[in-house]
Amino acid sequence: MIKKITYLAQACSWLAVLTTVGMILLFLGFLGVRGFDTINPTLFFGNTPPWGAIIGRLPVWHGIWPACVGTVALVLLSSLLAIPLGLASGIYLAHYASGAWKRWFSLAVEVLAGIPSIVMGLFGFALILSLRKTVAPQANTCLLLSAGCLALLVLPYLILMTQTALEALPDELRQAGLSLGFTPWQNMVHVLLPVAGRGILSGVILAVGRAAEDTAVILLTGVVANSGLPSGILDKYEALPFHIFFLAAEARSDAELAQGFGAALILLILTAALFLGAYYLKSTFTKTWDQKNLSI
Amino acid sequence: MGPKKPVDLEPTVLVKSLHVGFAGREVLHNLNAKFNRGWLAVVLGRSGSGKTTFLRALNRLNECFPRSATRGSLKLKLQGEWRDIYRNAMPLPELRRRVGMVFQTPHLLPGSIADNLALPVKLVLGVPRRNIASRVEWALEEAHLWDEVKDRLNAPAHTLSGGQQQRLCLARLLALEPEILLLDEPTASLDFRAALKVEELLLSLKERYTIIAVSHSLSQARRLADEALIFRDGSVVQRLSREDLQAPDTLQALLEEIF
C-alpha cells in the first residue's frame, strides 16, 4: 500500500516537473517560431542605417531600437533607486527592528507588495497632476517618474528577499563574528551579507524581471508609442513591453504583428541578459571580497 | 607528574553576586567566582544549570539574545588593569577580542581556512596587509594546526574535520591576542582522539592565559582542571581542587551530584 502511494507520488511529481518544463518549452518554441524570422537589423532600426541609429544621430521610425534602449534605461534607473533602499530596509527589518516598529514596518511592506501595478501607475499619474497644480507647473510624465513608480513596485521583493535571506542565517554565524570583536556593521558587511548573497540576488533578479516586463505602471507615467531615443530622464521614452502591447492591440498588418513577436523575443533575451549581468556582478563581488580579505 | 601549585596565582576574573536573566526568567542567581591566570578552571554541571550563560556573561555575548538582563559586578583584569565590564569599562568589540570564546560546535566564518584567520586579524586588530600572513602562520602553529593545513590554506574552511575546525577556531582566537579564553564544551562535537588533541592544546596554552572551560565530562575535568566549579540551578555549589578531583570518594559524590 505504502509502496503504491510512493509510486503515485513519484509519478505526480514527475508529471508536475514535465508539465512545467513542457509549458516553458512550448512557450519559447511558439515565440521562437513566430518571432525568430523577424530578428534582423530591420526589426531594430527600420529603414534607418544601423550605425546612425545606434549613436542616436538618426531617428528610427519603424524599429524597436528606441524601445530596447528605453527598457534598459528604465530597468537600470529603477534598480538604482530600488536596490539600495530595498537592501537597507531588509537589513533593518532582519537585524535592527524589533517589537512594534518591526510589526508596523512589515505590515507596510506587505501592503506595498499587494498594490496592483496599475494602481502604482495611477499614483504616479496623480503625483504629476498634483505637482503641476502646485510647485512645478511644467512637470510631466517621464522616464524618472516611471522608474520611481517601478522602484516602489519592486521594492517589497527586495526587502522581503533580503530579510528572509538574512534571517535564515544560523545564529552561530552571527555570534562567531561578534564574539571575535567585530562591530555589528563589520559583521553585517563581511560575514552576513556575503553569505546571504545568493538569496539577496534572487530578490534582485525577481525585481529586475518585474521592472522589465511591467506595462501598467509605465502606461500612465510616461511611455509613448513613438518618441525615439530618450534624451534624458525627464523625457518621454519607448519601452518594449508597451511596444508589444501596442502592436498586439493595433497591428495594421501581418508584418507588424510579426514585429510584435520579434519584440517579445528580444524582451525575453534582454531580461535573460540582465539576469546574467546580475549573476556576473555577484560573482565579481564575491571574488573581490575574497581578494580583499585573503591578503596573503 | 604530581599536582603542582604555582606559587603566586594572579587573579584575573572576579565575579560578585552576578544575576543573569532572559525575558524575566533568571538563569544565574547570585553567582560568585574567581579565576586566575595560568590556571585552567573547568565548569561542570547538568545541562540547564547556567554554564553557557555564565561564559557568555564574561564577554557580554548574552546581549545578543533577546531581552537579556545582567546585574551584579563582573571585573576582569585586562591589560593589567581591573575593569568592571558591565560599567562600560571598554568598548564591546575590544572586550570581546580580549575575552575570546570557542563554542560547542565550530562557528566558522565564510571563506577559506586563511580567510577565517585573516579577516578578524585585519578587521579587529587592523594588522597591515603585509604582516597578516605571518600572523596567520603563527596562530596556526599555536593551535597545532599548521602542519595539517599549510598546503591548503585557500581551501574552504568547512572541508576540515570537526577537530581541525575547532582548532581553527582556537587559532582564530589566539591570533587576536586575547587574555582570557572561554571554552564552551569545546570537545562536545568531537570524537575521542580529536578531543584529546584539543585537550593537549589547552594544557599547552594554560600557562599564558586565563582559561575557563565548560565541560560535560568528568574524566575530561580530571585530565584538565586545576580547579572545578560545580554549577547547579544557576549558582556555584561546590569548588574542587585538583586533588579533590582525583580522590575516588569525591568522584562518587560528584557523579551523583552532576548526573
pLDDT (0 to 100) of residue B219: 86
- Interface test with chain B among A98, A167, A174, A179, by most B beta carbons within 10 Å: A179
Residues A210-250 have pLDDT tens digits of 898 898 999 999 888 888 888 888 888 889 999 999 988 88
Contacts of B108 in chain A (CB under 8 A): 176
Q: Is residue A268 domain-resident?
A: yes
B115, A294 contact by CB (below 8 A): yes
- Interface test with chain B among A173, A195, A291, A294, by most B beta carbons within 10 Å: A294
Per-residue pLDDT band for B209 (boundaries 50, 70, 90) equals very high
**Domain containing residue A286:** 39-294
How many angstroms separate the CA of residue B155 from the nearest CA in chain A? 12
The answer for residues whose C-beta is within 8 angstroms of residue B63's C-beta and 6 or more apart is B70
Strands (E), chain B: 10-22, 25-37, 39-45, 68-78, 81-84, 99-102, 180-184, 210-214, 227-232, 235-241
Specify the DSSP class assigned to residue B127: -
pLDDT (0 to 100) of residue A287: 57
Chain B CA closest to residue A296: B133
Of A268, A269, A233, A203, whose CA–CA distance to A73 is shortest? Answer: A233
Residue B176 to residues A26, A182, B123, Cα–Cα distance (Å): 59, 11, 10
The answer for residues whose C-beta is within 8 angstroms of residue B235's C-beta and 6 or more apart is B28, B29, B30, B31, B50
CB pairs under 8 A between A and B: 81
Per run of 10 residues, the mean pLDDT along chain A (length 296 residues) is 91 96 94 86 82 78 87 93 95 89 94 94 93 87 93 94 92 90 92 86 86 90 84 86 90 85 90 82 62 42
Residues in chain B: 259
Task: Indicate left, alpha or beta for B125 from its phi (over 0: left) and psi (-120 to 50: alpha).
Answer: alpha
Residue B146 to residues A218, B31, B60, B121, B164, Cα–Cα distance (Å): 60, 39, 31, 17, 10
pLDDT (0 to 100) of residue B12: 92
CB contact under 8 A, A194 and B108: no
Contacting A with CB below 8 Å, chain B residues are: 59, 61, 64, 66, 93-97, 100-101, 103, 105, 107-112, 114-115, 118-120, 122-124, 129, 132-133, 136, 153-154, 172-173, 176
Q: Is residue A111 domain-resident?
A: yes
Counting Cα atoms < 13 Å in the Cβ hemisphere of B253 gives 12
Contacts of B107 in chain A (CB under 8 A): 172-173, 175-176, 179
Counting Cα atoms < 13 Å in the Cβ hemisphere of A191 gives 28
CB contact under 8 A, B119 and A176: no
CB contact under 8 A, A181 and B93: yes
- The pTM assigned to this predicted structure is 0.79
How many angstroms separate the CA of residue A96 from the nearest CA in chain B? 12
Centre a 10 Å sphere on the Cβ of residue A277 and count the other Cβ atoms it contains: 13
How many angstroms separate the CA of residue A173 from the nearest CA in chain B? 6
In the block, cell 580567510 appears at: B115
Proportion of chain B above pLDDT 90, given as a percent: 54
Residues B68-80 have pLDDT tens digits of 999 999 999 998 8
B110: its cell numbers:
565564510
- Interface test with chain A among B61, B63, B109, by most A beta carbons within 10 Å: B109
CB contact under 8 A, B124 and A178: no
Question: Residue ranges per domain, chain B?
Answer: 10-258
A49, A67 contact by CB (below 8 A): no
- Our count of domains for chain A comes to 1
The terminus-to-terminus CA distance of chain B in angstroms comes to 29
Closest partner residue to B176 (CB to CB) among A172, A177, A180 is A180
Q: Where does chain A have alpha helices with state H? A: 2-35, 41-45, 50-54, 65-91, 99-113, 117-133, 143-167, 171-179, 184-187, 193-213, 216-219, 240-250, 254-294
Mean pLDDT of B48-55: 91
Centre a 10 Å sphere on the Cβ of residue B93 and count the other Cβ atoms it contains: 18
| Assigned CATH class of B10-258 | alpha beta
- The CATH code of the domain that includes A182 is 1.10.3720.10
A294, A190 contact by CB (below 8 A): no
Residues B92-107 have pLDDT tens digits of 999 999 999 999 889 9
CA geometry: angle A33, A37, A41, nearest 5 deg: 145
Centre a 10 Å sphere on the Cβ of residue A68 and count the other Cβ atoms it contains: 21
pLDDT (0 to 100) of residue A292: 46
